[in-house]
Structure 1
Amino acid sequence: MGSPTAQRRIVELIDDLDETVIEDGGTQSFALNGTAYEIDLTSTNAEKLKDALAPFIAAGRRVRQAPNQRPTPRSAGRSTEDLNAIRQWARDTGYTVSDRGRIAADIVTAYSQA
């Protein structure tokens, strides 16, 4: 009989930008155009991200939302005629959209910007 074997597992967090081991830093979260992102960064790269975004954050407006919920354009309160117009516009411009149910946020956004 042999002696019991011990195992030791080491998990390292790696910076997504420069692939260095993160000793000081962690996961950063941000959102853009309704899509939430996470990136693992050293504290140096996290500061670079914050510095790059600082002028946009200063000029922007804060939006309250539920945790883990992506901000999306809302069609709530739209009339049936409005929704039908969006569906028709989407079909005319090459989008695939169903006759009933929710209209995808990217389609509503594109319609609003057209």
Structure 2
Amino acid sequence: MAQTTQTFLVDDLDGSEATQTLTFAFQGATYEIDLNDEHAASLEESFAEWIGAARRTGRGSSSGSSSSSSSGSSRASSAPKRTDLDAVRAWARDNGHTVSDRGRVSNKVLEAYDAAH
């Protein structure tokens, strides 16, 4: 027996038919909302000023490792910058950790590196 499953998006604001799902993050939490084209344009327009003044930190998803600072002029982060990963890998190998030449460096290794520096 064949089955067909249909998914209908419903606009989370007014219950009309939604045309898209938008994902955004705020204060370390990631949200999804189903919206029709008019509401999606309104949301994007609302965010435009803030996004224009903000710094992009990644692919747009929040992985739980965000940091914030009360002074808008500097951001403190416990993780090394992406440009420092070669140094992290070299330190990790010298200190008995197993790391790959490419890709993600585990949080365990990053935390050990931070603790040593």
2:9–2:34 CA contact under 8 A, matched in 1: yes
How many equivalent residue pairs?
71
Aligned to 2:14: 18
User: How big is the shift at 1:75?
Assistant: 4.4
1:12 to partner: Cα distance: 1.4
Deviation, 1:21, is 1.5
Report whether the alignment pairs 1:44 with 2:38.
yes
Q: Deviations over 1:23-78 (max 9, x none)?
A: xx21101111111111111111100000001100111111125856134235459x
SS of alignment partner, residue 39 of structure 1: strand
Q: Normalized against structure 1, the TM-score is what? A: 0.50
The answer to whether the Cα contact below 8 Å between 2:28 and 2:62 also exists between their aligned partners in 1 is no
Q: RMSD of the alignment, in Å?
A: 2.8
Quickly say closer, same or farther: Cα 1:59–1:13, change in 2 above 3 A.
same
Q: TM-score, normalised by structure 2?
A: 0.49
Residues 22 and 34 in structure 2, CA contact (< 8 A), matched pair in contact too: yes
SS of equivalent residue, structure 1 residue 44: helix
